[in-house]
Structure 1
Amino acid sequence: MASADESTRWRLVAEFLKEYRWEPQASRHQLLTEEPSGTGDDRWDVLLAALAEHLAARDGRRAPTWADSRRLRRFWFPYNTPAARVDAFVHAPAAFRSRGVFLADHELEVA
C-alpha cells in the first residue's frame, strides 16, 4: 500500500474485506495477526489498525497486539464532504472512533 494512490488503497481494503468475509470464521483471526507494512501515511496505518480491531470484534476476538497503540492526534474523515462527515461522526464503528478515524460503518460493506 505504500506506493499506492488513495483510490488503489480503497480497492485493496475492499478486496481484503471480501476475502475476509469468505474465510471460515475459525481461521479469520490469522489474517489479522501479522502487522502490515507501513503505508507511509499515519492516517492509513491507523485505519488498518482500526479495521483489524473492528473485524476481530465482530468475530468475538480481541484486536491484534500490533494495533493497540495506533491512534491519530487529529480526527480524520476519509470521505470529507459535509454530509459524509456528519454520517461518519454518527455511524463510525467504535474501533475507528476511538482511534480518530471517522468512517461510516456502511463504507465498510462490500458486495
Structure 2
Amino acid sequence: MVFQGEVLSIGALLERAQTAPGAVPRTRVGVRHTAAGNATLAAALLSAGDDLEVGWRFGILQTLDDYTSTLRRGGVQLAAEVFATEPAPTGSVQLDAAFAALADHLAERDGWTPPAWALDPARRAEGWFPAVPAIFRDEAKQDSPRAFRQRGIFITGRSLNRA
C-alpha cells in the first residue's frame, strides 16, 4: 500500500496503526451490544433448532468480540458495562454458565469486578467442551481458564482467540 508517497508492507501498516493515536470521537459512544442482548439472540437460535455450537459462536464469541471492541473504543470501565445487565436464561444450562464464565474471566484478566450474576453458583455446566473436538479434550481440561473450568466448561487456549 502507498502511504504519503512510500510503499508500506502489511507489517509496517499494522505497526503504524497500533502506534498511531486513536481518533477522538466527537460524542461518547456507549455500549452498543451486551451479553444480555446476545443471550437473547442465542436463545432464539436454540429455539429455532440450532445446536449449542451455534449458541457458543453467536452468544459467547460474539459477546467476546463486542467486549473487545468496546474495550478498544472506550476502555475497561465501559467494556465492563457489556456485562452489567444479567442475561436472561437461554434455555441452555451450558450457555448460561458460559456467559457467567466469560464475564468472570474478562473481569479477572482486565481488573474489574464481575457482576453478581456472574458469580451465581447455579450458572454451572457439567463437562461441556464447546467447539472442542474430542482429540483436544485433554488439552482443554488442562488449559481451560479458571472461570470456565470452575463452571464445568473446558476450552483450549485457542478457544477465545479472535482475529
1:63 is aligned to 114
TM-score by length of 1: 0.86
Match of residue 11, structure 1, among 43, 49, 58: 58
Identity %: 35
Q: Residue 80 of structure 1: CA displacement?
A: 4.9
Measure, in 2, the Cα distance between the counterparts of 1:61 and 1:36: 19
Measure, in 2, the Cα distance between the counterparts of 1:87 and 1:97: 12
Match of residue 77, structure 1, among 116, 119, 129: 129
TM-score by length of 2: 0.61
Bigger mean CA offset, 74-83 vs 61-70:
74-83
Measure, in 2, the Cα distance between the counterparts of 1:89 and 1:14: 19
Higher Cα radius of gyration: 2
Unaligned runs of 5+ in 2: 1-41
Q: Which structure 1 residue ranges, 4+ long, deviate > 6 Å from structure 2?
A: none
Pick closer, same or farther for the CA change 1:12–1:100 going to 2, 3 Å: closer
1:107 is aligned to 159
Aligned residue identity for 2:66 = E
Unaligned runs of 5+ in 1: none
Q: Deviations over 1:16-42 (max 9, x none)?
A: 222211212231111111111211010
